[in-house]
């Protein structure tokens, strides 16, 4: 199933995934560089290591929300195989993505 396929309620998987990711991003916030955080710099909840794995080479302060959304979609919905779950049980998918 891809982002444009429809769920049983007429909402595309991409739309449901976008709502899940938006909810996560609203909690994660923006740029943080806490020296006590072993993950290092983060922006929108994306660590510098994860950003680099996706080819991002810029300053973490400049990582856009759109870039973070795509990373969340690829790493936390597609890669673990949650696209079908998003359409069947969005609440469960939200818990797993978060």
pLDDT at site 43: 93
pLDDT at site 60: 96
Q: What is the pLDDT of residues 32-42, one digit of tens each?
A: 998 988 888 99
Give the Cα separation of 86 and 45 in Å (integer): 20
Q: Specify the CATH number for 13-97; select among 1.10.760.10, 3.50.50.60, 1.20.1630.10, 1.20.141.10.
A: 1.20.141.10
pLDDT at site 61: 96
Give the Cα separation of 76 and 34 in Å (integer): 23
Tell me the pLDDT of the chain (98 aa) as tens digits.
Answer: 444 444 444 456 666 777 777 777 877 778 999 898 888 899 998 999 999 999 999 999 999 999 998 998 888 778 877 666 566 555 555 555 65
> Domain-by-domain residue ranges, the chain?
13-97
Residues in the chain: 98
């Amino acid at each position: 199933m891809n982002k444009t396929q429809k769920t049983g309620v007429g909402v595309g998987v991409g739309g449901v995934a976008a709502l899940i990711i938006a909810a996560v991003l609203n909690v994660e916030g923006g740029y943080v560089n806490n020296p006590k955080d072993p993950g290092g710099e983060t922006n929108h909840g994306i660590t510098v290591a994860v950003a680099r794995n996706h080819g991002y080479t810029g300053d973490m302060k400049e990582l856009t929300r759109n870039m973070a959304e795509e990373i969340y979609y690829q790493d936390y919905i597609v890669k673990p195989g949650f696209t079908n779950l998003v359409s069947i049980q969005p609440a469960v998918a939200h818990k797993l993505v978060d």
